[in-house]
Amino acid sequence: MSTLQTAFRRRTGTLLRVEDLVTHFVTAGGVVRAVDGVTFSLDHGKRLGVVGESGCGKTILARSIMGLLPHRNVIRQGSVLFEGTELTTMSLKDRQKIWGAEMAMIFQDPMTSLNPVMKIGKQLAEPLRIHLGSSRENARAIVLKLLEDVGIPEPEKRFDQYAHELSGGMRQRIMIAMALACGPSVLFADEPTTALDVTVQAQILDLIEDQCREREMALVLVTHDLGVVAGHTDQIIVMYAGKIIEVAPTASLFSKMKMPYTEALFQSIPKLEDPSHTRLTAIGGRPPNLILPPEGCRFSPRCPYATDKCRTIEPELQAAEPDHLYACHHPVGSDRWSEVQVSLGRRPGGH
């Protein structure tokens, strides 16, 4: 798969198909079931949001798809088809050809994601030199163009600077430029704005969105912030304790959420429209231990609607609409849900 070819390839249809992906870690304390059977697909040029609290397995899911995991003490099963090629059985050498060229990734903390002792320009040129075999001068020209594209003033000057001489937002722009260098067909963005200030976060999210559109690049946006995915994705996956519990197009997830967990997550966020001192609806307890996840539905210990059925039988993903799946015995709008809403003194229906 030469990158030059991909640049001219028509980008439609399924880009990535993940089937029943399992990623467990063997630790001294036991087997951590970080990702426990995840299935979804992503089309060319689409933007997918993966949302969940810390420890739900979203970051590990992204890295597991790319194959960027340690090689020992990891149990990985299932299949990842990228442009029809199986990634899970691919050798490290072949994966290294895809990393950076076809799939790129940016990370949460731009402070630590750049090599502190290597000049910015050299780091940026690296993927070009590796994957495209660019000459030094050629790479430099492309890098300067990239820096301009991601909105960095004085690219010539930045080329010879080190990461610590730049601000956080600037570093994240560098990371994005580096990811874009070889024109990948999908960008994994792992909490790209969590470490940034809110005004800078808005700029970076705009930048990612613009670049995805311009380059017809698919995006997997991993975040804990429902607000971030709401404005910047086409489709959303909600994860809880290593499982997908709800998948839906962005608009219908927010308007017709089915999972009590999604609902609770949404309600626990303080909102600017609400007057000051509005009582927040907190979710009791804390996310489960992934070594010994609860039986049945993994959210049942914290769920106000949980019944005995929830505690014993694990719900399967089912379709509310063809493109809206959820995994719950008593989804939002069900009888049980209304009953509990009334008993809690809330008005059932709507948020």
Site for another protein in 151-210 (CB under 8 A): 162, 164, 167-170, 175, 178-179, 197-203, 205-206
The answer to whether residue 254 forms part of the interface with another protein (CB under 8 A) is yes
User: How far is CA 330 from each of CA 77, 171, 261, rounded to the nearest angstrom?
Assistant: 30, 45, 11
Tokens, residue 207: 């930048």
The amino acid occupying position 207 is L
Q: Is there binding between residue 101 and another protein (CB under 8 A)?
A: yes
Nearer to another protein, 12 or 292 (CB): 292
Rg (CA), the chain: 21
Per rule CB under 8 A, is residue 322 in the interface with another protein? no
Taken in order 128, 129, 132, 134, is the CA torsion positive or negative? positive
Would you state the structure tokens that stand for residue 225, as one six-digit string? 């912030």
Decide whether 44 or 232 has the Cβ nearer to another protein.
Answer: 232
Least separation in angstroms between residue 126's CB and another protein is 6
* 34 scored as a contact of another protein (CB under 8 A): yes
Rule CB under 8 A: say whether 57 interacts with another protein. yes
Phi, psi of 256 (to 5 degrees): -130, 45
Binding test (CB under 8 A) with another protein, winner from 141, 251, 319, 344: 251
Q: How far is the CB of 21 from another protein (least distance, A)?
A: 16
The pair of three-digit structure tokens given for residue 30, joined into one six-digit string:
């036991």
From candidates 1, 4, 75, 280, binder to another protein by CB under 8 A: 280
Residues in 36-55 at the binding interface with another protein, rule: CB under 8 A: 53-55
CA-based nearest residue to 55, from 88, 78, 87, 32: 32
- Residue 237 binds to another protein (criterion: CB under 8 A): no
Instruction: Sort residue 39 into left (φ over 0), alpha (ψ -120 to 50) or beta.
Output: beta
Q: Quote the CA–CA distance of 241 and 293 in Å, as a whole number.
A: 8
> Can you say how many angstroms the Cα of residue 17 is from the centroid of all Cα atoms in its chain?
15
Q: Which of 1, 4, 7, 291 binds another protein (CB under 8 A)?
A: 291
Q: Considering only residues 68, 81, 142, 320, which one is a binding residue for another protein as defined by CB under 8 A?
A: 68
What's the min distance (Å) between Cβ of 137 and another protein? 20
Query: Contact between 347 and another protein (CB under 8 A)?
Result: no
**Choice from 47, 58, 329, 330 touching another protein (CB under 8 A):** 58
Q: Does 63 interact with another protein (rule: CB under 8 A)?
A: yes
Instruction: Find the shortest distance in angstroms from Cβ 135 to another protein.
Output: 18
Contact with another protein (CB under 8 A) among 84, 284, 345, 350: 284
Helical H segments across 106-195, by residue range: 110-113, 120-127, 136-149, 155-159, 168-180
Site for another protein in 107-146 (CB under 8 A): 107-109, 112-118, 126-127, 130-131
- Mark the segment that binds another protein (CB under 8 A) among 19-27, 38-46, 133-141, 337-345: 19-27
CA 48 to chain centre: 7
Question: Which residue in 15, 16, 18, 60 binds another protein (CB under 8 A)?
Answer: 60
Report how far residue 139's alpha carbon sits from residue 132's, in angstroms, rounded to the nearest whole number.
Answer: 9
Question: What is d(CA 201, CA 227) in angstroms, rounded to the nearest whole number?
Answer: 12
**Least CB distance to another protein at residue 105 (A):** 4
Q: Is residue 131 a contact partner of residue 101, using CB atoms and an 8 Å limit?
A: yes
